[in-house]
Homo-oligomer: A and B are copies of this chain.
């Protein structure tokens, strides 16, 4: 009997950075609890389809649900394997996690925000090298992560811009945080070019260190990698490129990130020679409350949403079916009272 247990594997790296506590940077920043709860809850939603140790579905102040519900909806249709890697969680999650030694990230403006970056990168690289899979889709969840992504891009000397989970990208706040971080780390833009571990340790977050390590390891053993996400995954790709890998590398994101005029994802992806896949879930064709906030520019991406949509599309699942399943997941988990009572 033939064995083919490998196939497609989806890996979510979940972690935290204190950068999310900065005013106006992240929807999660309004409530420090959400900063630590969101990645733990996202891991549970993707794994089990509902919160388990965490108690509520992460919603933005205006009621936009975590994109984990979209990724989960696609998973319920396609049934792909999921593994969660602890990329610096603070709150315990009931989702099974792989440990690579990543600790919670500190504020990017500190001198050494990710002291565990080197160890996590190397442990993730070992794991990525040995993890059985024909293709790996790597996702992330870390509130505040676009700011640390900007920090990494600047440290590497890449001029790409980053998107936001907010309708109005707080670009000025992000730039200020990154400038403070560069100064604290005695770096000028580009000083860490070709030094990905230095860049992510001084200006990044533990999730970026872990995703970059996983990618570096997986491509070493000829596993195809697609980074599922937006500009945070662009930063992860930049880390891998600055580590010297010149082969194929995919980036799969949503139309919401690709069309964000405050970022320049298509151009930046081309500069890093990434195979870009953009998928539009067509949420404007629905008047479901869960989709309206995405159409209004919130969330945009996260928890591998763009990758999940690409997998659905590749499998011939229509976006109408994805929307229907997403609505079913949302309706099952979020009642009107919860939305109305969101902070």
Contacts and interface: CB of A to CB of B under 8 A. Distances in A.
Interface of A: 1-3, 5-6, 47-50, 52-53, 76, 79, 83-85, 92, 94-99, 126-127, 130-132, 324-325, 327-329, 332
A131 B3 contact: no
A5 B333 CA distance: 12
Given A1-B328, A53-B127, 18 more contacts: A1-B324, A1-B325, A2-B328, A3-B76, A3-B328, A3-B332, A5-B49, A6-B49, A50-B132, A52-B127, A52-B132, A53-B126, A79-B79, A92-B99, A94-B131, A96-B96, A97-B97, A97-B99
Contacts of A52: 127, 130-132
A99 B98 CA distance: 11
A130 B53 contact: yes
A2 B331 CA distance: 10
12 contacts: A1-B327, A3-B328, A3-B332, A48-B132, A52-B130, A85-B96, A94-B130, A94-B131, A95-B98, A96-B96, A96-B98, A97-B98
A48 B94 contact: no
A96 B83 contact: yes
B3 A94 contact: no
B131 A48 contact: yes
A268 B108 CA distance: 60
Contacts of A94: 98, 127, 130-131
B49 A132 contact: yes
The 9 closest A-B pairs by CB, nearest first: A96-B96, A5-B49, A1-B328, A52-B130, A96-B98, A83-B96, A48-B132, A1-B324, A3-B332
Nearest to A11: B96
A84 B96 contact: yes
Instruction: Give the one of A6, A85, A127, A132 with max B CB within 10 A.
Output: A132
Contacts of A127: 52-53, 94
